A and B are shown apart, each in its own frame.
Chain A
Amino acid sequence: GEDVEQSLFLSVREGDSSVINCTYTDSSSTYLYWYKQEPGAGLQLLTYIFSNMDMKQDQRLTVLLNKKDKHLSLRIADTQTGDSAIYFCAEALSGNTPLVFGKGTRLSVIA
């Protein structure tokens, strides 16, 4: 079955880079996502990557995918206090299947 694992907590200093890691089990996953959730709010799509890509960069965000190891990471450059939130990794088999989420990584940014 599908399973997504990520570490629960990460603490970084403002200005440093943050790297949030995620592993998944289903090699058939086609879409891999990173969502951000601020307290009491819904999910905000940060970025996503298709399984045929190794890397995707979007401004301060860099996503790396190691399909062989089923490992996904999100790097946030120059982390700011406004980046403090819970970050969810999610996978989906296709465009019309539901997402399977990890438990989320709580990122705390220390000023």
Chain B
Amino acid sequence: GAVVSQHPSRVICKSGTSVKIECRSLDFQATTMFWYRQFPKQSLMLMATSNEGSKATYEQGVEKDKFLINHASLTLSTLTVTSAHPEDSSFYICSARELKANTEAFFGQGTRLTVV
């Protein structure tokens, strides 16, 4: 089946620094990728929709200047958490679908971000 690779799986960073998370579709092309955030013991909340070659669409309440999304190719989307703070600590997961219709959404392994 289709594979989505997310990297890194875990990262610890200091407050004020920036962290980049990569999401790659390994064996298919994805014009659209989604970034979710999961707080402990809670569901996944959609942060933004990443569209190849255009600006991302952010959900209400998500700061686009803080969570920079770049979707430079059909197989790669990146999420950069800028000037990270402890409250940004969370589990971030990306997902992608193939270009063709009627397919399931495949998820990356997730990235556990801890800001100290």
**Residues of A with C-beta under 8 A to B101:** 94-95
What bracket does the count of chain A residues touching chain B fall in? 20 to 34
The verdict on A101 contacting B44 (CB below 8 Å), with A41-B109, A48-B104 known, is yes
How far does the Cβ of B79 sit from chain A's closest Cβ, in whole Å? 15
In chain B, residues 30-65, which have Cβ atoms closer than 8 Å to a Cβ of chain A? Answer: 31-32, 34, 36, 42-44, 46, 49
Chain B: interface residue total (CB-CB under 8 A): 25
Contact call A95/B107, Cβ cutoff below 8 A: no
Question: Is residue B95 within 8 Å, beta carbon to beta carbon, of the partner chain?
Answer: yes
Contact mask B72-109 → A, CB, 8 Å, 1/0?
00000000000000000000010101001111111111
In-complex Cβ contact of A45 among B6, B44, B106 (8 A): B106
Residues of B within 8 A of A41 (CB): 109-110
What distance in Å separates the Cβ of A8 from its nearest Cβ neighbour in chain B? 9
8 contacts between A and B (CB under 8 A): A33-B105, A35-B107, A43-B95, A43-B110, A45-B106, A98-B46, A100-B46, A103-B42
Specify which chain A residues have a CB less than 8 angstroms from the CB of B44 in the assembled complex: 43, 88, 99, 101
Which single member of B31, B46, B100, B107 contacts A43 (CB below 8 Å)? B107
In the complex, what distance in Å separates the CA atom of A88 from the CA atom of B31?
25
Docked complex Cα distance between A45 and B106 (Å): 7
Beta-carbon contact of B43 and A99 below 8 Å: no
Q: What chain B residues lie within 8 Å of A43 (beta carbons)?
A: 44, 93, 95, 107, 110
Q: Which residue on chain A has the smallest CB distance to residue B51?
A: A96
Bound-state Cα–Cα, A100 to B105, Å? 12
The interface bits of chain A over 24-52 (1 if a CB of B lies within 8 angstroms of the residue's CB, else 0) are: 00000001010100001111110010100
